[in-house]
Amino acid sequence: MGIHLAHRMDILKASDVRELLKVTQRPEVISFAGGLPAPEFFPGERLADIAREILAGDGARALQYSTTEGHAPLRRQIASRLNALSDARYTADNILITAGSQQGLDLTGKLFLDEGDEVLCESPTYLSVIGAWNVFRPTWVEVPTDDDGMDMAALEERLDRCRRPKLVYVVPNFQNPSGRTWSLERRRRLMEVTGRRGIPVVEDNPYGELRFEGQALPSLKAFDARGLVISLGTFSKIFCPGLRLAWLAAEQPLYEKFVILKQGTDLHTATLSQMMVSRYMERYDLDEDVRRITEAYRIRRDAMLAALEKELPEDVRVTRPAGGLFLWAELPPGVNARDLLGRCVARDVAFVPGEAFFPNGGHENTLRLNFSNMPPDRIAEGIRRIAAALAEMQAEAA
C-alpha cells in the first residue's frame, strides 16, 4: 500500500468470532458461535424508565464529560458487590470503570507489555485476550491445563525458562473456551508461585456468578498478599453487553497508572450508561436477575449435553461446565474443525473452531460451543445438524 504501518500490524488479523458473527446474524442460523447473552433477560422496560428519568432530571450531568475513574456511586456499588461475592476488600478507589472487559485487557497490555515479554496463559485461553495483547507483541507461553486449572509444575518450569515473564492471564471460573473451573488448591498455589516471583496475575471473571451447581470458590484476589492481582469483571454477562460497561479492580500504585492510560485511550466511559446501571442496582435486585439468567443457562447447558450425548459418536469428548456460557469439544485426531464449520454453515449452524484459542496455534480438532443464546429445542436441532455434518465428513474420508 506504500504507507508504512507499525510493526505490530504484521501479525494482526480479524478475529474468527467477529467475522462469524456477521454470518450468524441471519435469523435462520442456529449459532453456537458468539458469546451472546440471551436478550430475553435484558431489562429493557426498566431501563427505559430509568434512562428517561436520568435524562429528563439530570441530563446536564448525564451528557457532560465526566471523570476518567468513573461515576462514583457505581464504583462504590461494584466494590461492595465484589467484596460480598469474593472475599475481596476493595473500596471505590480500587475500581476503574471500563468500556467492556476488552478495554481492561487493552489497558493491562499497555501497562505491562514490551515486545518479547512473556505472557503465561491457560491452554486454550480466551480468544480476545490474544487480539488485545498481540498489538504489544508479547511471547505467548501456553501452560497445560486440566479440569482443575493450570498444571502448577508446568507453570513453574516455564517460568524458570522465561526471560521477562510479565503477566499470568487466567479465567478461573467456567473458562472461555473450555468451560473449566479451577480447584481451590490450584488457586492458592497459583498465588504462591506468582507472589513469590512478584508476577502480576490478571483474574478475568466474566462468568463467575453464573454457577449452575456446586459451591462458589474464593477468587484469586482472596490469596493476593502483595497487591499483584488485577481483577476484571463486567456487566455484559450478568446484565447486558450493549452498554459496554465493565470494571478493572487493582491496588495502588497500579491503579493510578491504569487511570492515566484510560485517560489517553478514551478519556472516560459514557456517563449516561454508568448512571443507568447505578440507578438500576439501587432500585432492583441484580442478584435476582442473575439467578433467573443462571437457571435458564443451566437448562440450555443440559439440553446441549443431552443432545451431544445422543447425537455425537463416543470418540468426541466434551467438557461438562458447572456454569458460564461455553463448553468445549475435542473431535477425533485428524478431524479438522474448520472444515467441519464450512459444512455446518451450509446447514445454518455455527460454532468457533478451537484453534483460535491457542495463541501458538494447533489443536485443529477442537471447537467451542456456546449454549446461552439459543432455546433448548434449537440447541437440539443445531447439535443434530453438526452431527450430520461430521458423519458426512467422516464417511467421505473413509
In whole angstroms, the minimum distance from the beta carbon of 209 to a copy of itself comes to: 18
> Which C-beta is closer to a copy of itself: that of 250 or that of 308?
250
> Which C-beta is closer to a copy of itself: that of 67 or that of 394?
67
> Which C-beta is closer to a copy of itself: that of 59 or that of 332?
59
> Which C-beta is closer to a copy of itself: that of 44 or that of 332?
44
Cell of 141: 507461553
In whole angstroms, the minimum distance from the beta carbon of 6 to a copy of itself comes to: 5
> Which C-beta is closer to a copy of itself: that of 12 or that of 391?
12
The closest of 262, 273, 252, 214 to 74, measured between CA atoms, is 273
Residue type at 61 in one-letter notation: R
In whole angstroms, the minimum distance from the beta carbon of 34 to a copy of itself comes to: 7
In whole angstroms, the minimum distance from the beta carbon of 99 to a copy of itself comes to: 4
Helix 44-62 vs helix 271-283: angle between axes, to the nearest 10 degrees? 130
* Alpha helices, DSSP H, located in the chain: 16-24, 44-62, 72-86, 100-112, 127-134, 152-161, 184-197, 254-266, 271-283, 286-311, 337-346, 376-397
Encode 71-103: b = buried (16+ Cβ within 10 Å), e = exposed: bbebbbbbbebbeeebebebebebbbbbbbbbb
Residue with cell 488485545: 132
In whole angstroms, the minimum distance from the beta carbon of 184 to a copy of itself comes to: 26
> Which C-beta is closer to a copy of itself: that of 180 or that of 268?
268
> Which C-beta is closer to a copy of itself: that of 1 or that of 398?
1
In whole angstroms, the minimum distance from the beta carbon of 325 to a copy of itself comes to: 12
In whole angstroms, the minimum distance from the beta carbon of 100 to a copy of itself comes to: 5
* Cα three-residue angle 353-358-364, rounded to 5 degrees: 40
Provide CB contacts within 8 A for 369, sequence distance 6+: 32, 304, 318, 326, 327, 328, 329, 351
In whole angstroms, the minimum distance from the beta carbon of 169 to a copy of itself comes to: 14
> Which C-beta is closer to a copy of itself: that of 133 or that of 182?
133
Q: Do the beta carbons of residue 254 and residue 96 sit within 8 Å?
A: no
Residue with cell 433448548: 376
Torsion on CA atoms 225, 97, 17, 167, rounded to nearest 10: -30
In whole angstroms, the minimum distance from the beta carbon of 149 to a copy of itself comes to: 23
SS3 149: strand
CA pair distance 309, 316, nearest whole angstrom: 9
In whole angstroms, the minimum distance from the beta carbon of 303 to a copy of itself comes to: 21
| DSSP per-residue string spanning 273-340 | HHHHHHHHHHHS-HHHHHHHHHHHHHHHHHHHHHHHHHHS-TT-EE---SBSSEEEEEPPTT--HHHH
Half-sphere exposure of 29 (CA within 13 A, CB side): 18
> Which C-beta is closer to a copy of itself: that of 261 or that of 349?
261
Is the N-terminal amide bond of 177 cis, ω within 30° of 0? yes
CA pair distance 313, 210, nearest whole angstrom: 29
> Which C-beta is closer to a copy of itself: that of 143 or that of 272?
272
